[in-house]
Every structure is written in structure tokens, then in C-alpha cells.
Amino acid sequence: MIILIPDLAENTSPDNLHQYVSSCMKNVWLLPVFRKKGSLEKCEILRIKDRDSNQVQYQGLAYIDDDITGEALIKQLNNCHFQGINLKPRVYHSRAATKERRVNLADSNDIAIVNRRRRERRRSNLLIEKIASPVTPSAFSI
């Protein structure tokens, strides 16, 4: 499961986010109690820039290997404060134009009129880039 954490501060690094989410995962309780808790695989920061207005937004992605742990973590992180920002995490859904079932349908009678799309609605003017975690010298063990 991928958890989206929107509206992060500009100075947030993937390491800071990973450390914070890891500390919150220690407080996650799962039922039944003997159930094994999932783990945090990695965290990423997305820098999203609107080319028209030059507005920049930072969003975090936390990769959890278990869906039940991910759902519990979303509840745990909801309304928590991280670097002065009130968090509103939610499940991240990966979307692609190639997977869009409503665009370019061969038989448009299969879906309701209100559900038909004539063109792509996603904003094409966004520049999305991943902010890499800084490389530490200990990562280069020989």
C-alpha cells in the first residue's frame, strides 16, 4: 500500500519523513494482537510544480508492505503535526491515461452519459519530480 501525505513543508527530506512515519508505526495496534505488523519499505517526496502559476507543492509517499498496517497507520497519522503541518494522509491510487476506461471507448453505450469523458481531465501542465534522499558515506560499504 502507498500512503499519500499531502502539503508537506519545502524543507522536508525523505529521511525526515521516513523517521517520523517509522516512529508513528511503533504505536500502531492491530487486531488480533498476535498479528504481525507490516513494515515501512521507503518514503519519497514529490515536488509538484504548476507550470502556469509557478506554484510548488510537496507531497510524501510512504510505502507499506501490508494493507492492514497501512490502514491503521493512516488513522494514526491523521491530524498529527509534522514540522508544523497538520497531516491528512490517505491511500495513494496510481493513475495513468492508458488505464482510463472512460476515454476512447469503442462502445460508449456501456456506461452512463454522465460518466463519459471526451478528453483527459488530468492537468497536463504539472511537472512532477521525486526528491532523492541524500547519499550518506555509510551507504557505500565495500
Do 17 and 5 form a contact (C-beta atoms < 8 A)? yes
Residues 98-131: tens digit of each pLDDT: 666 655 555 555 555 555 556 666 677 888 899 8
* Residue tagged 491523521 (cell numbers): 78
> Could you tell me the pTM of the whole model?
0.75
Domains and CATH numbers, the chain: 2-132 (3.30.70.330)
Q: Which amino acid is at 60?
A: G
Burial of residue 2 (CB within 10 Å: 0-12, 13-18, 19+) is: middle
Residues 62-75: tens digit of each pLDDT: 999 989 889 999 99
For 109, the 3-state DSSP assignment is helix
Pairwise CA distance, residues 68 & 76, whole Å: 12
